[in-house]
Amino acid sequence: MNPWELPRERIEELVREHGTPIYIVSREKIRRNFRRLDRALPAVKFYYAVKANPCPEILQTLHREGCGFDVASQGEILAAVAAGANPRTDLLFADTVKDPKQIGYAHGIGLDDFTYDNASEITQIARLAPGVNVHLRLIVSNEGSVANLSHKFGAPPQQAVELLTAARDAGLVPRGISFHVGSQCLEVERYCEALKLTREVFDRAAEAGIPLESVDIGGGFPVVYENEPIDLEAMCTRIRECFEEYFGRYIRENACRLVAEPGRAIVGDAVILVSKVISESVRDGRNWLYFDDGIYGSFLEVLLYHMRYPLRGETDGPQTPYVLAGPTCDSIDVFSRDATGGIETVTLPEMHLDDLLVAGAMGAYTFSESTRFNGFEPPKFVFID
């Protein structure tokens, strides 16, 4: 079930049993999200991006569905392996900036697919994981996506053949190309442009004697937070058309493996957060509510990307505007913010001490980005199915 639809009595019951703050998770919704993508892109092998939410039960649920894992560190590898993943067949080390100790560890347990975007990574990988398969990550446009990843990652396409050749000369096996169109991508054409660019690199690499056989389209599949007009099936239909346009021949000749690394779209709307009012005040004429979770806990993306989660107060009072703040000793810990990051009020039914706030679509980049600042622990996970 969609946990956002849980009735108030059930939420109150779970709070009586487990306290607050808690994440309420539907494993069934995670399975449905995975199957939906899997059906919409049947030729693609999926590797869930563990960074989105590494909760062990979530990883186990996905492993049982046959999903692999995109990992970025030894910690994420350990979490994926604990969930049952086979390092050789189920894991991609898809972060382009890797701690060398962790490259050696990954290689030692059989992980055989690494992503890179610069010459120094080739040196590190060749030294610590000789002979492994590598994907070169390209810079692609992230315009229209909420989280832009192209500022930090990806090689310029004009350097692609040089970097593929350098990897081969260092004894690695250049297997394919990867890209990421940015997280919460709302413009499907970004995938199509990136696939066109990837095909051009495939052709240039083949001319240079480096035949490639794998395309990794990264993550970016979006989640509905407020009322974004997202049609995931239509988006995937368009991606399939572009696979056909740029890689049709490869796919028909079984000469190309297609891979994706979704995170947000698998867990985002499978989790709600329940937090409690722990203090209230009036400041500069505005009503403030303070909760037992905030920016340093589950709401960091409000600050980073001006993310706006659906919120509801589990009370019945008159509609009242509130500033919503977290519990820590920092003024920045306010999670009612507008699209530019400025503090705003949110209208909720009148709330007081001990009342419950429910935030929807809290599965992705919430727990995984939460800190322990001021000694506040991240929320506990509670599973409803």
Sequence-ordered strand ranges (E) for the chain: 22-25, 44-49, 68-71, 91-93, 113-116, 133-137, 145-147, 173-178, 183-185, 214-216, 257-260, 271-283, 286-291, 311-313, 319-325, 346-349, 356-359, 380-383
Reply yes or no on whether 329 is catalytic. yes
- Residue 225 DSSP one-character state: S
Distance separating alpha carbons of residues 267 and 52, to the nearest angstrom: 7
The answer to whether 174 contacts ligand PLP (rule: CB under 6 A) is no
Min dist CB 202 to ligand PLP, Å, is: 20
Query: Min. distance of Cβ 264 from ligand PLP in angstroms?
Result: 4
**147 vs 356, which CB is nearer to ligand PLP?**
147
Query: Is 71 or 273 the residue whose CB approaches ligand PLP more closely?
Result: 71
Q: Which of residues 131-150 bind ligand PLP (CB under 6 A)?
A: 149
Restricted to residues 8-67, the positions that interact with ligand PLP (CB under 6 A) are 49, 51-52
Residue nearest to ligand PLP (CB): 219
- Burial of residue 95, with CB atoms counted within 10 A of its CB: 0-12 exposed, 13-18 middle, 19 or more buried: buried
Q: Can you tell me which of 133, 183, 214, 368 binds ligand PLP, judged by CB under 6 A? A: 183
Within 8 A by CB and 6+ apart from 231, the residues are none
Contact range with ligand PLP by CB under 6 A, out of 33-41, 77-85, 215-223, 293-301: 215-223
One residue of 87, 174, 176, 218 binding ligand PLP per CB under 6 A = 218
- Give the Å distances, CA to CA, from 58 to 42, 135, 259: 22, 27, 20
Beta bridge partners of residue 349, listed in sequence order: 319
- Provide the pairing of β-strand 311-313 with 133-137: unpaired
2-6, long-range: CB within 8 Å, 24+ apart, which pairs?
Answer: 2/26, 2/29, 2/269, 3/29, 3/270, 3/271, 3/272, 3/360, 3/384, 4/269, 4/272, 4/310, 4/358, 4/360, 4/361, 6/272, 6/384
**70 lies in the binding site for ligand PLP (CB under 6 A):** yes
- Name which of residues 311 to 350 contact ligand PLP (CB under 6 A): none
The distance of closest approach from Cβ of residue 261 to ligand PLP in the complex, given in angstroms and rounded to an integer, is 4
Is 354 in contact with 276 (CB distance < 8 Å)? yes
Using rule CB under 6 A, residue 194 touches ligand PLP = no
Nearer to ligand PLP, 58 or 325 (CB): 58
271-283 and 257-260: which strand pairing?
A: unpaired
Q: How far is the CB of 34 from ligand PLP (least distance, A)?
A: 12
Residue from 94, 197, 210, 324 touching ligand PLP (CB under 6 A): that is: 94
Q: Which is nearer to ligand PLP, 222 or 313 (CB)?
A: 222
Give the binding range for ligand PLP (CB under 6 A) out of 81-89, 212-220, 318-326, 327-335: 212-220
369 touching ligand PLP, by CB under 6 A: no
Query: Which distant-in-sequence residues (6+ apart) come within 8 Å of 98 by Cβ?
Result: 72, 73, 114, 121, 124, 125
Cβ-contact 98, 121 below 8 angstroms: yes
107 scored as a contact of ligand PLP (CB under 6 A): no
Crossing angle of the two packed helices 56-64 and 27-40, in degrees rounded to 10: 40
Interface residue with ligand PLP among 157, 220, 313, 326 (CB under 6 A) is: 220
| Residue 42 per-residue DSSP state | T
**Rule CB under 6 A: which of 251-290 touch ligand PLP?**
261-265
Q: Among residues 29 and 264, whose Cβ is nearest to ligand PLP?
A: 264
Quote the least distance from Cβ 70 to ligand PLP, whole Å.
Answer: 5
Residue nearer to ligand PLP on the CB measure, 31 or 98: 98
Q: Tokens for 133?
A: 């398969």
* In the complex, minimum distance from the CB of residue 15 to ligand PLP, in angstroms, rounded to a whole number: 29
- Residue whose CB is less far from ligand PLP, 336 or 368: 368
Active site residues: 329
Residues that bind ligand PLP (CB under 6 A): 49, 51-52, 70, 94-95, 149, 180, 183, 218-221, 261-265, 364
